[in-house]
Structure 1
Amino acid sequence: MARPRTLSNLDILDAANRLLHQYGPEALTFESLGRACGLSPATLVQRFKSKAGLKQAALLRAWDGLDEMTAALAASAPKTPDGAVSLLVGLSHYGGIETYAEGLLLLREDLRDPVLRARGTAWKAALCSALDERLSGIAGAPQGLGLLMASQWQGSLLWWAFEPEGKVEDFVEAGLRRFVAAVLAVPAGED
């Protein structure tokens, strides 16, 4: 008879994600994860087979969390340009520059793995669709305005990182409000 599991795979993957965010992708080993969650490295190998499999599973778990957060924010944001801004500001709670910078190392892992890259592509489509819903009432709005706004958001995050003074959310919100004001200022038919 098999021994009962003391920790679920989801709990282990949450611990793995904490390690990834705190110390970076190279620090995630079966040994470091075993110390973090109290299981032997051999037990973790049995569950996840390889370091690459463990890292992919942990990052897929992180994508699940981002999908859930995006859906929850979209469900609560009004279908207005202000709602689009609040949705993106809600996704911008990175904390300080160190947390944001460590997140870029994880993005590198997502870009290297086709399965994780596909999750990013699916998330982009869902996010842009939610933004398009909120921006559709703008007269004369060009097709794909959600993608343009998401691109503005990502750029705002990056520019904040070079001069990380103040809260990232405040910087992002100010940039997105300027973006919406510029889009609203374009007369219908002029894009």
Structure 2
Amino acid sequence: MARPRSIPDAVIYDAVLDLLEERGAAAVSFGAVSAVVGLAPPSLVQRYGDREGMLRAALAHGWERVAAVTEAAEAAEESAQGFLKALGVAVRVSLVWASVGEGLAGERAAAWRAGVEAAVARKAGCKAEAAAMIFAAWQGRMLWDAAGGAGFRLRDAVKRIG
């Protein structure tokens, strides 16, 4: 079977984000992405220039999705807990983790965090410092859940902090 000539960027970005989540940043290579999407590595090189370019494009794509979900959840959810629960479905731990050291993507991660903390403060009726702690507890829970942990209840943390 012949390889497809064209694969939409979104499919490639999803493959990169999946590799990030499943095996970490070191696993993201033109060869690994090629194996997932069926596009030859030289075609990926032509499209993105280098591995970092492909990674940055995938992270930007991931943050665009996160921004859309965050905006919708902020408008739809009344409580801080409901808002964070709605976000938890869309926000990949690997996206946040990989973005921290990636220049523009890191700036997007920091801006998103500030926006989420502000929304939590409004929805929970608490001070910014308490919202920051709630955000940190939520992120901790996401990491713990991703690692297979159980038993951490965000609701309990919010009650203690709020």
* TM-score with structure 1 setting the length: 0.69
Q: Deviations over 1:79-124 (max 9, x none)?
A: xxxx111111223349xxxx96xx3xx5443222221210111101
Any stretches of 5+ residues in structure 2 without a counterpart?
none
Question: Whole-Å Cα distance in 2 between the matches of residues 112 and 131 of structure 1?
Answer: 25
Q: For residue 137 of structure 2, what is the aligned residue in structure 1?
A: 152
Higher relative contact order structure (alpha carbons within 8 Å, sequence separation ≥ 6):
1
Q: For residue 122 of structure 1, what is the aligned residue in structure 2?
A: 111
1:62 is aligned to 2:62: yes
Question: Whole-Å Cα distance in 2 between the matches of residues 123 and 10 of structure 1?
Answer: 21
Q: Report the CA distance shift for 1:143/1:127 in structure 2 as closer, same or farther (over 3 A).
A: closer
Q: Report the CA distance shift for 1:148/1:21 in structure 2 as closer, same or farther (over 3 A).
A: closer
Computing the radius of gyration over CA atoms, which structure comes out larger, 1 or 2?
1
1:32 is aligned to 2:32: yes
Question: Whole-Å Cα distance in 2 between the matches of residues 50 and 163 of structure 1?
Answer: 33
- Which segment is superposed worse, 126-135 or 115-124? 126-135
Q: Residue type of the partner of 1:130?
A: A
- Percentage identity across paired residues of the two chains: 25
Q: Report the CA distance shift for 1:143/1:55 in structure 2 as closer, same or farther (over 3 A).
A: closer
- Per the TM alignment, residue 36 of structure 1 is displaced from its structure 2 partner at its CA by 0.9
Any stretches of 5+ residues in structure 1 without a counterpart?
184-191
- Per the TM alignment, residue 154 of structure 1 is displaced from its structure 2 partner at its CA by 2.8
* TM-score with structure 2 setting the length: 0.80
Question: Whole-Å Cα distance in 1 between the matches of residues 21 and 143 of structure 2?
Answer: 18
Q: Report the CA distance shift for 1:40/1:125 in structure 2 as closer, same or farther (over 3 A).
A: same
Alignment of 1:47-58 (within 5 A): 47-58=47-58
Matched positions, count: 158
Question: Whole-Å Cα distance in 2 between the matches of residues 66 and 16 of structure 1?
Answer: 16
1:172 is aligned to 2:154: yes
Q: Report the CA distance shift for 1:108/1:133 in structure 2 as closer, same or farther (over 3 A).
A: closer
Question: Whole-Å Cα distance in 2 between the matches of residues 115 and 58 of structure 1?
Answer: 12
Question: Whole-Å Cα distance in 1 between the matches of residues 34 and 45 of structure 2?
Answer: 10
Q: For residue 9 of structure 1, what is the aligned residue in structure 2?
A: 9
Q: Report the CA distance shift for 1:145/1:64 in structure 2 as closer, same or farther (over 3 A).
A: same
Q: Report the CA distance shift for 1:159/1:29 in structure 2 as closer, same or farther (over 3 A).
A: closer
Q: Report the CA distance shift for 1:156/1:42 in structure 2 as closer, same or farther (over 3 A).
A: closer
Question: Whole-Å Cα distance in 2 between the matches of residues 61 and 161 of structure 1?
Answer: 21
Alignment RMSD, CA only? 2.9
- Per the TM alignment, residue 37 of structure 1 is displaced from its structure 2 partner at its CA by 0.8
Question: Whole-Å Cα distance in 2 between the matches of residues 43 and 158 of structure 1?
Answer: 34
Q: For residue 99 of structure 2, what is the aligned residue in structure 1?
A: 110
Question: Whole-Å Cα distance in 1 between the matches of residues 17 and 144 of structure 2?
Answer: 26
Q: For residue 46 of structure 2, what is the aligned residue in structure 1?
A: 46
